[in-house]
Structure 1
Amino acid sequence: MQLPFSARTLFQRSSVHLFVGIALAGSAQAQSLTEVFDLAKNYDAAYLSAKAQYQASLAKADQGKAVLLPTVGLSGSASRTELDITGIGAISRAYNTQTAGINATQPLYRPANLATYRQSQKALDAAQAALVQAEQDLIIRASQSYFDVLGAQDSLTFVKAQKAAVGEQLASAKRNFEVGTATITDTREAQARFDLVTAQEIAADNDLRVKKMALEILVGKTGIQPKNFQARVELPPVPEGSVDTWVDTSAQNHPGIQQARTNFEVAKLETEKAQAGHKPTVDLTLGYNSQKNINGTATANLVGGSNQVNLASLGINLNVPLFAGFATQNRIRETVALEEKARLDLESVQRQVAQATRTAYFGLQSGIGQATALQAAESSSQVALDANKLGYQVGVRINIDVLNSQSQLFQTKRDLAKARYDVLLGRLKLSQAAGVLKLEDLQKTNDLLQK
């Protein structure tokens, strides 16, 4: 299900543009979201493992066809026999025997073989679903790591801007104290806030370093610098369709459900294989064999001579099982129980996917609402800060009021930046939960980055 982007804009230009400058400074070497995903696709062990499993399943599916096809074998042997009979009619001689033949068998009726073939094809479907799931998971992990770095960059930028603002307020408090228009309390409050923001700056810088390391580990390359988003970005709207519509979509498309459903079908085929133990089997056999006897055989003496026996055969082999020590009955009981287990596993996965889809749907709704509210809060916080600064200048506000307003403004900016990334990631997670996440969805997000 493809959802259009809203014309409503949630991203507005911030009064602090330092983060834009940082992004532009490294734009020449910066990597886009799709470029990071391509790097991860060629390096991530989890995805490459699923890809290797799919290749193995392709080969295994071809192996499954073998049980329906004829088997042909070429044989040959050479032997020398020393025959020595003592007593009455004593015989002592040696002779050589050479044999060669070609034999073929074609299954005509083997229900277990047919079930095995069908299982191999189902296993291929399961591997395909696993590969799709691994790719969707990699899209989410790459996007998460990418946004984590951008969010950490924004946090560090805002903390530095807050530190500069608090530093200006500290300098102003010191000047006012020196000229006698303010008390030492203003200076000490500003100094305490400056020290606190300095500690926050150290923590933000370390967080950015850790987030970059996580992204580099994902793609297997150092020096990754994500591109920042455009100054004005249109976020996706509230998802089209009800939550039940999305749950229905996930029930049909989620690769996890497809794997569990395939496993259930394979389990039912395993029961058919077990039941085939009570059924007869029919094979067509064809052979041509030749035996050459040199100097005779055990019953004939051909001193200095030889003979050759050629035998061509065509036949039908019928095998009817009568009793196998109750092994077949117990095998059927086992497979029936495993079939029930697979059915219950399918139900469990369906419930988990439905719950994850609902969580992603309502999470995206909430995220869009939070981003809208934080945008308004940013504007309000800026107005409040300006008012407190003016009040401080005319003497109706104290220094701590200005410091608190600054803290509120920059915290709101950090929260808004995080909310924006959460909305974009939440849109991808909703598509993943519904099983419809594709590279086109990643490309739409990538189009929002700076060129």
Structure 2
Amino acid sequence: MQRPLIAVLIASAFLTLNAQAADLLQVYQQALANDATYASARSSLAAGQERITQGRSGLLPTVSASGSNTRNTGDATSSEFLTGNTIKNDTDYHANTYTVALSQPLFNWGAWETYQQSKLSQATAEATFSQAQQDLIVRVAQAYFDVLTAQDNLTATQAQKVATTEQLASAKRNFEVGTQTITDTHEAQAAYDLVVAQEFAAINDLDNKRTALQVIVGQSTAELAPLRTGVTIAPPSPATVDPWISSAETQNYAVIAAGLNVEIAKREISRNRANHLPTASLIASTSHQRQTGGGSTVNNNAIGVSWNIPIFNGFAVTSKVRETIALEDKARNDLEATKRAAAQTARQAFLGMTSGLAQVKALEAAEVSSKSSLDSNKLGYQVGVRINIDVLNAQKLLYSTQKDLSKARYDTIMNGLRLKSAAGSLKESDLAPINALLVH
């Protein structure tokens, strides 16, 4: 009676899932459109792409126009020396003035270094965004499989509850007819109470995992497509860890961004040293001044070169150079730390994937053995050579093995994604083979 009931529960669950199940790629597309962290990274990229235009502006000419238009009213009073007569003069006049000026830098090493820094800053923004793209893939996959793990735990716990319920009923019947002691009933009752508590915890965990996925995709998700039974997970390629570590130390986007920061720090030293150097600019201007009321009109055009030579500024430039040298050393140490972290992540993910594949294989064998053990204990219980606690322990072992096997598969898949992310090669297309492992 136990098997048909479990089969009905599993079949109904799969019918519900297949009715409106969303797969991994569909959830990822929702996250691309709605994830706030990814949207923030996209806006940061858009801001960073303006750096080159801003840096180049210091090398291009600047044109400005200024002017004024004023009307003056008043009078002036004076006395003649000989006659003593008072003379009153009207001083009303209208003045109109404008100037258009152009300045083109001829030599400004600081502006040139700022331009070079702007190109590096834009490249840093692009590397940071690429890392955010990879992070989104990993976050979505992790949240997706966390939900599946919670679902599998709940399904196994509910199946264990059904089996424990039947075992409790059997123990009570046998006690009533006198073939078993009250101890068997108490053991079955304790096992039932424990699995009920585990069911409540599993339901709560599933709700939390669904909420975590909802935070990423920005909306309530439909039922998720589960992993097919008995799937084969592809091993890492290449199959040795050294190429992955080498790739992590050179192609990881965090490492690339840290390397660009070192170059920016170098340019910052040169830019500050340029404050000791002279600057020169081509200047040109045209001006017009007209005054009415007996005034005059003046037009003027000018062209030439202006220059500036810094002599002394209280040791500020020297101090700033020393500061930027220290910051360059910090950037180099940050780069080395980032390389080591990327290499460690790649190594851990590689070992996690290879050991995970072995663990999955071992747990698959353990699942078969646990099923056989449970069947043997049930048969022994029926013929009286096994007691109730033996069946309960066998059931517990089987469902625990199934939970471990499910989690091992998900962890192995996730370690494969983390390995590619650490190596800087993770792309959206890498989700396709994983999506093919799901029930569609």
TM-score norm. by structure 2 comes to 0.92
What residue is the counterpart of 1:298 in the other structure?
none
Contact kept? 2:149, 2:406, Cα under 8 Å: yes
Shift of 1:177: 2.5
Name the CA distance, whole Å, in 1 between partners of 2:396 and 2:203. 18
What residue is the counterpart of 2:51 in the other structure?
60
Pair 1:318–1:249, CA change in 2 (3 A): same
Shift of 1:149: 0.9
Contact kept? 1:133, 1:256, Cα under 8 Å: yes
Name the CA distance, whole Å, in 2 between partners of 1:87 and 1:355. 97
Q: Identity across aligned pairs (percent)?
A: 45
1:418 aligns with 2:416: no
Alignment of 1:340-355 (within 5 A): 340-355=329-344
Identify the structure with the greater helix proportion: 2
Name the CA distance, whole Å, in 1 between partners of 2:57 and 2:25. 42
Question: What secondary structure is seen at the aligned counterpart in 1 of 2:34?
Answer: coil
Counterpart pick for 1:215 among 213, 216, 226: 213
1:436 aligns with 2:428: no
Contact kept? 1:39, 1:219, Cα under 8 Å: yes
Contact kept? 1:23, 1:227, Cα under 8 Å: no
Alignment of 1:68-147 (within 5 A): 68-80=59-71, 94=91, 95-147=93-145
Aligned length: 428
Q: Which is worse superposed, 31-40 or 407-416?
A: 31-40
What residue is the counterpart of 1:3 in the other structure?
none
What residue is the counterpart of 1:6 in the other structure?
none
Contact kept? 2:50, 2:122, Cα under 8 Å: no
Contact kept? 2:100, 2:285, Cα under 8 Å: yes
Counterpart pick for 2:282 among 281, 284, 298: 284
Name the CA distance, whole Å, in 1 between partners of 2:10 and 2:302. 85
Matched letter for residue 211 of structure 2: M
Counterpart pick for 2:346 among 338, 357, 361: 357
Question: What secondary structure is seen at the aligned counterpart in 2 of 1:42?
Answer: helix
Residues 80-119 of structure 1, C-alpha deviation per residue, up to 9 Å, x if partnerless? Answer: 5568596899995524432122111111111111111111
Name the CA distance, whole Å, in 2 between partners of 1:218 and 1:87. 89
1:318 aligns with 2:316: no
Pair 1:307–1:20, CA change in 2 (3 A): farther
Shift of 1:39: 1.5
What residue is the counterpart of 1:7 in the other structure?
none
Contact kept? 2:68, 2:98, Cα under 8 Å: yes
Pair 1:86–1:364, CA change in 2 (3 A): farther
Q: Which is worse superposed, 264-273 or 81-90?
A: 81-90
What residue is the counterpart of 2:166 in the other structure?
168
Matched letter for residue 386 of structure 2: R
Alignment of 1:284-433 (within 5 A): 284-295=282-293, 302=294, 306-433=295-422
Question: What secondary structure is seen at the aligned counterpart in 1 of 2:50?
Answer: helix
What residue is the counterpart of 2:38 in the other structure?
47
TM-score norm. by structure 1 comes to 0.90
Residues 127-159 of structure 1, C-alpha deviation per residue, up to 9 Å, x if partnerless? Answer: 111111111111111111111111111111111
What residue is the counterpart of 1:231 in the other structure?
229
Shift of 1:52: 0.7
Contact kept? 1:50, 1:131, Cα under 8 Å: yes
Residues 237-282 of structure 1, C-alpha deviation per residue, up to 9 Å, x if partnerless? Answer: 1442422211110112111111111111111111111110111111
Question: What secondary structure is seen at the aligned counterpart in 2 of 1:357?
Answer: helix
Question: What secondary structure is seen at the aligned counterpart in 2 of 1:324?
Answer: coil
Pair 1:367–1:86, CA change in 2 (3 A): farther
Pair 1:317–1:87, CA change in 2 (3 A): farther
Matched letter for residue 294 of structure 1: T
